[in-house]
Amino acid sequence: MRVIFISLITSLLIAFAFSQSVLQKEKKYLQDYTLADKLFHKAEMLSTKKIYDEALEEKLNGQSLAAFQSILPIVKKVADDSLAFFCHLKIGIIQHYFDSIQPAKNNYLNAIALKQNLPQIKDSFLFQPLLFTARIYYSLNKFDSAYIYYKKAEKIRELYQVYLNEEQRLYNGLGAIYFETGNFKQAKNYFEKAALLLSKSDPYYKDFLIAYKINIGSSLVRLEKFKEADEVYSSLLQYKITTNEILQNVGFVNLSIGNSLKAIDFFKKIKYNNSANIILFNQLGKAYVNLAKKDSAEKYYKLALEENKKWNDTRKNNAHGTTYQYIADKFIAEKNYVNGIDNYQKAVLQFYPDYYETDIYKNPTIFSGVFSYINLFNTLAAKADAFEKLYGQDKKQASLDAALNAYRSAFLLADYVEKTYDSDEARLFLNKIKYRVHDRPIHISLQLYEITKNNHYLEEAYNFDQQNKASVLSLNVQESSIKSQTVTDAGLFEKETSIKSNITRLSLKARQINDSNQLEKIKAETRDNEIELGKLQDKINELPGYKVKKYANAIPTIADLQKLLNKKTAILSYHLSENELVILCISSNDISYTKQAIDSTFFSTVKSFKASLNFIKSGQKYDGDAVSLQLYNATIKPIFNKLEHIENLLIIPDDELNSLPFEALNDENGNYLFEKFSVQYQYSTALLRNNINDKTFNTALAMAPFASRGNEEFTQLIFTKKEIENLKGDILLDSAATKNNFIAKATKSGIIHLATHTIVNDTFPEKSLIAFYPFTNLATNENNLYAQEIYNLKLTGTKLVVLSACETGNGQLSKGEGLMSLARAFTYAGCPNIIASLWKADDKSTAWIMQRYYHYYYNNISAASSLQKAKLDYINSPEIEKKYKSPNYWAHLVLTGIPEKEVSSYGWLWVICISSFLIPLCYLFVKRKKRIYDNSIML
């Protein structure tokens, strides 16, 4: 018993001694952590001192790193995950300081992984490891991974109302990602936000400010705002900090505007001792190519390759891609197409890190993630052009096919990029880049069709043609349609609309302010709203099913398109380049095309015809017949033999043809086109996917604010009351025709008819407006409805909008996108059918035509046929004087929309015939049954 007792006491003493040892060790590692942490913060504080001791900072960081690394195994052994999180984070930060990038990244990732199971640690502590991981991935040119971690850090930022340490680096980093992907406007927003968050008490304030302003200037250069960029760079030279970077950017501005000698002067003043030499040598080589100094260019390209080997080895990066791209350009200029193509392929591999195919005949076809979109597009397009030039030498079909394949890849990329961008401004800028090569793939497709007679190439020509037409508008309409079907997440869409409305409100307000301080505040608020909109759209893109539908191909195949057309309807799609006009004709059972050479005379003829139509003066004779015939011979006659059984034309114009009223073209006999065909227009076949056949007539909204009086700004429109009096619904005249009433009723109306005045701004299309009552003080009148505001309306339930006002169908021409008109704004808002005016119209003739239009439209005649019949009635009416029957007075009204299925008058005859047969038959049947019933009673 005594032995057992002694043994028990001994065990307890051993256990106590062990526990004391553990406690002492635990106390020891906690003490060691505290000491390491003090060293860490002491090193951190050195940077805030007036006299900066870099050697001491390095020494303290080294001691701190060693201490944390010795503690970490003990911390892991005792399973103190909270302390392990902070150890990994601080080890990562110090390793990052010493440029030990890979170990730093691993420690950040370990900290991030530990935090997932540590709810007791605030989420704000996760901000730094996410941010620094993103920065490392960016430095490694892994933009996709960088973007993911930046966005995770941004989500943490949104959880807090207060400033988070290093927050400005988040905005600068995201700005850099947007810059790399070509979304330069959003990049500029983020760079400006980063600069705004800098604290003037920060000892590195000037360094960061200059770096961020250089980034702002770079965005302006890419947006082709060279003067603004030059002003930014010039303002920075006074600081005499980071002079190399400033000089290089000033040089790049000069290189971009074609001043290569001046660019070289700036470049030669720069001395780098880092990887920035690669970009510098690229730009020097490019400048010497522009000056036709081949040897000097080769020297600098060789130096760029050597620098890349030194700093990046085999790691893919954009600067290296640019070197190969420039070398390829030099080979092409020398007509050495094979070597040029080989170097373009090497550039492709650098610009798209996930692509590894070295075969020059192959190109990427599936795109995902974040990479250098614009550089890749330009390289693929240049490669395609090189193959086309090679075909000129070797006459091999394989070379022409290779050119088409490269263009196909480039345009697939453009489609992908458009859907990743979060603003129309970014999408329109991409369109400008795409437009520079837009005609080549169509030309090559038709060339291959003529060689092979393979219909596949006709389909290719059609696809490229439609990809070059109103892609931004089509995408927005497609997105709106998807959102209207996604009711479970309506809150996100409502918030999106609210932010867009805020941006519009601020933009309109900015136009009315002259005070520079107030203007800066509005610009800052606008920028913040645009950043918030981008974040929200990221969330929308991640909705289940939304992204899949959004990224689906919106352009119908020819086979699908033909199913939408009845036997009497044909599509004429025009493609216009500087020296060629292509017309694609698609009917329900056929596709054909014509192409013809044109020159500047064609464009001057179009201009002359528009001028003759736009001029209306009492007693002035219409003089457009001759030029009208010339245009008829160029645009209709070549394809006329394919229209033998056609009654309805759906015209998809291109560029300068967008404001041409085709129905007013006359043949050699003086007959107008609309006398044979009903004519309507469309921006792209992508907008024909959702065919609308139903019409709602009991919700019309008609407004005429100038029916009874006008003012100095706008004249009275006497006939507008008569124009809308036969509509079925709300008819609001004069003081009732207010903007507020329009906003309140428009989204609930099946038909909207606005008989009013407009002002079209060709320079700034978003400033174009529709006038409502009251109409005083035009410049600041809040009762004006601006184009920007129309974009934010939800008119998916509206079947028809009639803009019976001057020039509502006209506006600034955006190449490849069409006219930025008020009519386009209503299409953007979701209405499929718009009647608008191409020029300043005559009030009386417009009212006459619209009255007849509604007479037909309310009798189940399609919108296109109703407009045709109304115009025919007008020119054939004995009550209209002959001098008012020229196209000036009736051709301004054009319909853009979707073909409707029309109830044929013969259908009603069949109903009458069948009814006349069935009614007597039913009578006999009932009478016979009655007889049988009577007989059964008698039995």
Per-residue model confidence as pLDDT tens digits over 252-284: 999 999 999 999 999 999 999 999 999 999 999
Q: What is the pTM of this model?
A: 0.87
Q: CB of 195 within 8 A of CB of 214?
A: no
Name the least confident of 293-307, 312-326, 477-491, 706-720: 477-491
- Residue 920 pLDDT > 90: no
- The 3-state DSSP class for residue 754 equals strand
Q: Report the C-alpha gap between 90 and 108 in whole angstroms.
A: 9
Q: Report the C-alpha gap between 475 and 684 in whole angstroms.
A: 11
Tell me which amino acid residue 50 is.
K
| Cβ-based neighbour number of residue 700 at 10 Å | 23
Q: Which long-range contacts (CB under 8 A, 24 or more apart) does 44-49 make?
A: 47/203, 47/204, 48/203, 49/203
| Inter-CA distances, 609 with 257, 597, 887, Å | 36, 20, 11
Q: Residue 5's pLDDT is what?
A: 46
Residues 6+ apart with CB under 8 A from 326: 282, 285, 286, 289, 301
Q: How far is CA 818 from the centre of its chain?
A: 14
Q: How confident is the model at residue 777 (pLDDT cuts 50, 70, 90)?
A: low
Q: Which two tokens stand for residue 813?
A: 């021409």
Q: Residue 330's pLDDT is what?
A: 95
Question: Peptide bond before 774: cis, by omega within 30 degrees of 0?
Answer: yes
Q: Residue 228's pLDDT is what?
A: 94
Summarize the confidence of residues 786-796 as an average pLDDT.
Answer: 90
- The larger pLDDT score, comparing residue 765 to residue 187, is at 187
Q: For residue 548, what is the DSSP state? A: H
Q: CB of 463 within 8 A of CB of 684?
A: no
Q: Which two tokens stand for residue 207?
A: 């360094």
Q: How confident is the model at residue 914 (pLDDT cuts 50, 70, 90)?
A: very low
Q: State residue 587 phi and psi, 5-degree precision.
A: -120, -175
Q: How confident is the model at residue 20 (pLDDT cuts 50, 70, 90)?
A: very low
Q: Residues 445, 449, 452, 453: is their CA dihedral positive or negative?
A: positive
Q: Residue 906's pLDDT is what?
A: 40
Biggest distance spanned by C-alpha atoms of the chain: 135
Q: Residue 934's pLDDT is what?
A: 37
CA-based end-to-end distance of the chain: 120
- Residue 2 pLDDT > 60: no
Q: Which two tokens stand for residue 519?
A: 């203007």
Q: Report the C-alpha gap between 864 and 678 in whole angstroms.
A: 6
Residue with tokens 């600041």: 780
Q: How confident is the model at residue 883 (pLDDT cuts 50, 70, 90)?
A: confident
Residue with tokens 């014509």: 594
Name the least confident of 74-78, 192-196, 332-336: 74-78
Q: How confident is the model at residue 905 (pLDDT cuts 50, 70, 90)?
A: very low
Residues 6+ apart with CB under 8 A from 259: none
- The 3-state DSSP class for residue 84 equals helix
For 366-377, the pLDDT digits (tens) are 998 889 999 999
| Inter-CA distances, 476 with 415, 825, 917, Å | 13, 11, 52
Q: CB of 217 within 8 A of CB of 180?
A: no
Q: Residue 548's pLDDT is what?
A: 80
Residue with tokens 């085709």: 662
Q: CB of 317 within 8 A of CB of 310?
A: no
Report CA dihedral (547, 549, 552, 554) to the nearest 10 degrees.
-130
Q: Report the C-alpha gap between 591 and 575 in whole angstroms.
A: 15
For 96-106, the pLDDT digits (tens) are 999 999 999 99
For 459-473, the pLDDT digits (tens) are 999 999 999 999 999
Name the least confident of 16-30, 175-189, 230-244, 904-918: 904-918
Summarize the confidence of residues 161-178 as an average pLDDT.
Answer: 93
Q: Residue 619's pLDDT is what?
A: 54
Name the least confident of 163-167, 320-324, 387-391, 669-673: 163-167
Q: Residue 814's pLDDT is what?
A: 85
Residues 6+ apart with CB under 8 A from 346: 321, 324
Which residue, 435, 339, 446, 439, is CA-closest to 383? 339
Q: Report the C-alpha gap between 232 and 212 in whole angstroms.
A: 11
Which residue, 504, 497, 646, is CA-closest to 569? 646
- Residue 6 pLDDT > 80: no
Q: Residue 226's pLDDT is what?
A: 93
Q: Residue 24's pLDDT is what?
A: 53
Q: Which two tokens stand for residue 417?
A: 């990029």
Residue with tokens 């296109």: 864
Name the least confident of 42-56, 283-297, 818-832: 42-56
Q: Count Cα neighbours of 70 within 13 Å in the Cβ-side half-sphere.
A: 16
Q: Residue 417's pLDDT is what?
A: 92
Q: Residue 516's pLDDT is what?
A: 79
Q: Report the C-alpha gap between 282 and 383 in whole angstroms.
A: 19
Summarize the confidence of residues 807-813 as an average pLDDT.
Answer: 81
Sheet with 648-652, strands from edge to edge, namely 590-597, 580-587, 569-576, 648-652, 678-681, 893-896, 834-837, 800-804, 751-755, 700-704, 729-733
Query: Average per-residue pLDDT in the chain?
Result: 87
